[in-house]
Amino acid sequence: MKSLEGKVALVAGATRGGGRGIATELGAAGATVYVTGRTTRAQRSEYGRPETIEETAELVNRAGGKGIAVQVDHLDPAQVQALVARIEREQGRLDLLVNDIWGGENLIEWNVPVWKHSLEGGLRMLRLAVDTHLITSHYALPLLLRSGNGLVVEVTDGTAAYNEENYRLSIFYDLAKTSVIRMARSLAKELKPHGCAAVAVTPGWMRTELMLEIFGVREDNWRDALAKEPHFVISETPRFIGRAIAALAGDPDVTRWNGQSLSSGELARVYGFRDLDGSQPDAWRYIAEVQDAGKPADASGYR
């Protein structure tokens, strides 16, 4: 069933990884999806990866939706304002905003204290993770409010409960990912009087293009990476969080989640969707109960 047919979504930061998986699954549910990012077939961003927004739009089309690629630097207010004006002009509505902008992996210095971490890199990381989301919401929400039941999804890394108890290996990364969760809570308060909702959603350990490359595997042989990292057994495809967000967007009672921090694994249990291999990986429960507890890698009961 095309649960999102007639709906218009903006996936900000959809060039690759989770953003690409989200856009594809929204397309599979029948939505018109604007996919944004900085890398096109004609120009790469500072991130230096080969994936493009045009490829993502094509995946949306093949899945059954309508994908529209727009090159946007979400740190540039004028570009974001022009994007929203285009969506209003072409569609007259916006039902779903997914703030998935990131692109800061190359800036992280793991287990390096703030006084040794590159200040320039750290502050750039915060701008990419926080400023981009605020700028996009500032311009997009007036259009989304007109729907009367719009949804904003702030994509982050880690649940509120996990991040509250655990240092995320860099003060800048820690701030970036916990700030996005707080952003969803704040937006929830502002959107509630208008019948709209905001949530934070985290994937588990995603098998993104970059992650597969790091382990020297492909999606069809990803389990070969378990020899290097046994806990990779809990990993999931980027389509899994896509199915989570498509389920939220298609839920007529989505306001019950307003302001909450959710995970792909948790939402899979509620809505019944599965990853491409038919499993339901619950990464954050696994990480807390198995990986962080120092137990041998074993996903039994967790997927």
User: pLDDT at residue 300 above 90?
Assistant: yes
Average pLDDT, the chain: 97
Quick check: is 301 in a domain?
A: no
Least confident interval from 101-105, 139-143, 192-196, 204-208? 101-105
User: pLDDT at residue 2 above 90?
Assistant: no
- The pLDDT of residue 269 is 97
pLDDT tens sequence across 237-295: 999 999 999 999 999 999 999 999 999 999 999 999 999 999 999 999 999 999 999 99
Quick check: is 104 in a domain?
A: yes
- Cβ atoms of 36 and 73 within 8 Å: the answer is no
Report the CATH number at residue 64: 3.40.50.720
Instruction: Please name the residue that has the structure tokens 């980027």.
Output: 238
* Domain count along the chain: 1
Strands, DSSP E only, in 72-194?
Answer: 96-99, 151-155
Quick check: is 300 in a domain?
A: no
pLDDT tens sequence across 126-154: 999 999 999 999 999 999 999 999 999 99
Average of per-residue pLDDT across 211-216:
96
Quick check: is 113 in a domain?
A: yes
Q: Which of 50, 54, 101, 97 is nearest to 74 (CA)?
A: 101
Round to whole Å and give the CA distance between 16 and 39. Answer: 10
- The residue range of the domain holding 84 is 8-291
Quick check: is 303 in a domain?
A: no
Round to whole Å and give the CA distance between 252 and 256. Answer: 10
- The pLDDT of residue 169 is 87
pLDDT tens sequence across 36-65: 999 999 999 988 899 999 999 999 999 999
| 214 contacts: CB under 8 Å, gap ≥ 6 | none
- Give catalytic residues, as residue numbers: 173
- The pLDDT of residue 1 is 62
Quick check: is 298 in a domain?
A: no
